[in-house]
Amino acid sequence: MARPHCMFIQNQGLPWVKGILPGARASLPTRVLSQDPDSGALSAIVQLPPGWHPNQPNSLDVDEETLVLGGAVQINGQPFGPMSYANLPAGYQRLQVAGDDGATVLVMLSGKASEYSPTASDYDARKLVLNVDPAAEGLPTWTENPYTRYLVGTGVRPLREDPDTGEISILYAALPFRYMAKRWTHPVVQEMFVLAGEYAINDVGLMCPGAYAWWSPNEWHGPYGSLTGFMMFIRTHGGALANDIAQEEIAVDYAPPYRPRLPDALKQYATTPEGSTLY
């Protein structure tokens, strides 16, 4: 059983719970965005309080992606500030983790995680992405959107491409007044988290900062537009990103009502998007 289609929920309405993550992180407040009931793979927002330091080095037995939403954390001496990204393969050693100032982090685990003490470096180095810092790099690392010819005025900062599956993680941004007056879908899962701006989708509503979606394959949505421009984190599951775009032209609604398509477990937490708070 795969994760259910979720299009979309503002994470600000979800409860903070504990005991979700393994080992030293079990005590950390966590908002679960989505989770696979079979594999245990999950996406969540995690709060690290100021002065948080795990007592012992550790590794996880699953892959972990992280994107810092606010604050700062250090992993093995590498500083991670806001919007810094990493992909840590299963077995990667976290010899030192420090949250001196506190941080809020988007965490994505590839399966049900267990923590263990590292004894030697035993991970797939092809998958390691350590400390991509777009804020420090500026625009030179961005490219025009390579995924569809319809979206002039959009840019992509590649973060990760899986060497075996072709799955990607990217930052995706658009200028104000960008729109596409067509519906579209994907042959693979597209996971989305809005970081800034507004992203209006006619049939489901106005995604504001902190909006989260697990867009299942072959589910149609759209069209979309943005009066403000936007930036979001996107990753795919099941293969490389591809777009199937319908031919019918539909006028864009820049202020559509909130009509989410949510799994039953999330419906009670659905709140109308408002404001610009990220979490």
How do the domains of the chain map onto residue ranges? 14-133, 139-267
Cα–Cα distance measured from residue 171 to residue 192, given in angstroms and rounded to the nearest whole number: 10
Fold category of 14-133 in CATH? Jelly Rolls (2.60.120)
CATH of domain 139-267: 2.60.120.10
**Which pLDDT band, with edges at 50, 70 and 90, does 52 fall under?**
confident
Q: Helix or strand or coil: residue 122?
A: coil
**Which pLDDT band, with edges at 50, 70 and 90, does 150 fall under?**
low
CB of 123 within 8 A of CB of 116? no
What pLDDT does residue 246 have? 94
Q: Considering only CA atoms, which of 53, 54, 99 is closest in space to residue 72?
A: 99
What pLDDT does residue 258 have? 95
Give yes or no on whether 14-133 and 139-267 have one common fold: yes
Give the CB-side neighbour count of residue 222, counting CA atoms within 13 A.
Answer: 22
Q: Is the pLDDT of residue 147 over 80?
A: no
Q: Considering only CA atoms, which of 150, 149, 190, 198 is closest in space to residue 173?
A: 198
Which residue reads 């658009």 in tokens? 174
Q: Is the pLDDT of residue 91 over 70?
A: yes
For all residues of the chain together, what is the average pLDDT? 90
Give the CB-side neighbour count of residue 126, counting CA atoms within 13 A.
Answer: 6
- What percent of the chain stands above pLDDT 90? 68
Enter the pTM of the model: 0.93
What pLDDT does residue 167 have? 96
Q: Dig out the tokens for 47 from the structure.
A: 């709060």
Q: Is the pLDDT of residue 48 over 60?
A: yes
CB of 91 within 8 A of CB of 64? no
CB of 190 within 8 A of CB of 233? no
- What percent of the chain stands above pLDDT 70? 95
What pLDDT does residue 189 have? 96
What pLDDT does residue 151 have? 58
CB of 234 within 8 A of CB of 187? no
What pLDDT does residue 58 have? 83
What pLDDT does residue 23 have? 84
Cα–Cα distance measured from residue 62 to residue 87, given in angstroms and rounded to the nearest whole number: 11
